[in-house]
A and B are shown apart, each in its own frame.
Chain A
Amino acid sequence: GAGVSQSPSNKVTEKGKDVELRCDPISGHTALYWYRQSLGQGLEFLIYFQGNSAPDKSGLPSDRFSAERTGGSVSTLTIQRTQQEDSAVYLCASSLEVAVGLAGELFFGEGSRLTVL
């Protein structure tokens, strides 16, 4: 498709289970971002893949969270031993250039809604 694609759109899991969320960015976009949006809250930065450079992981809330981007395209966000506070919408975005200011904008997917029971 032409936009950023995320899967699954909804995920319900039990506390303590691991989950994987997938993001397919727009073809040719060099930068990929993961954000988390809790109910009624803004977007919390998690991690940023910037071309061939090392990712910026400064927003990951704990070592239970990790992400990888294979081949400069698809990214997977993994949450291990999920907790109820992990419940949120996880948004992926991509941009054409590494520097946001040069690219002009981020293109967001529709998000993966995670519910941890």
Chain B
Amino acid sequence: GESVGLHLPTLSVQEGDNSIINCAYSNSASDYFIWYKQESGKGPQFIIDIRSNMDKRQGQRVTVLLNKTVKHLSLQIAATQPGDSAVYFCAETRTGANSKLTFGKGITLSVRP
């Protein structure tokens, strides 16, 4: 079946460094992707999204890159801060009626002071 997965379960980075979180998806029909951040004890929160007609989108300190050729998605966080410590999920869907998000397993980002 189709699935969305992440390459690494955990990522530890030094405060101030840039973080890159990677995600692979297998549904070639997916055309909309979202990154979510989940802090301990809370529900996931939207970070940034990207549609398949784009290969890069920037937000505040975050950039999402989409490579449709290899079905790869990444989230880049610039100047990582302690508040960035959380679990990050990529999610994918095919837009249209009856669409629903399929989530990957999540990766824990730990920021070292």
Chain A residues in the interface with B (C-beta under 8 A): 4, 33, 35, 41-45, 48, 50, 53, 56, 91, 93, 98-102, 104-111
Q: A35-B103, A42-B105, A45-B102 are in contact. Are A105 and B97 (CB under 8 A)?
A: no
Q: What is the distance, in angstroms, from B1's C-beta to the closest C-beta of chain A?
A: 12
Main secondary structure of the interface of B (DSSP, over half): loop
Complex interface: chain A residues within 8 A of B91 (CB): 43
Structural contact, A104 and B103, CB atoms closer than 8 A: no
| Number of CB contacts from chain A to chain B under 8 A | 70
B113 contacts A by Cβ under 8 Å: no
Complex interface: chain A residues within 8 A of B7 (CB): none
Closest residue on chain A to residue B100 by CB atoms: A48
Chain B residues in the interface with A (C-beta under 8 A): 31-32, 34, 36, 41-46, 49, 51, 89, 91, 93-106
Q: A100-B93, A101-B31, A108-B44 are in contact. Are A41 and B105 (CB under 8 A)?
A: yes
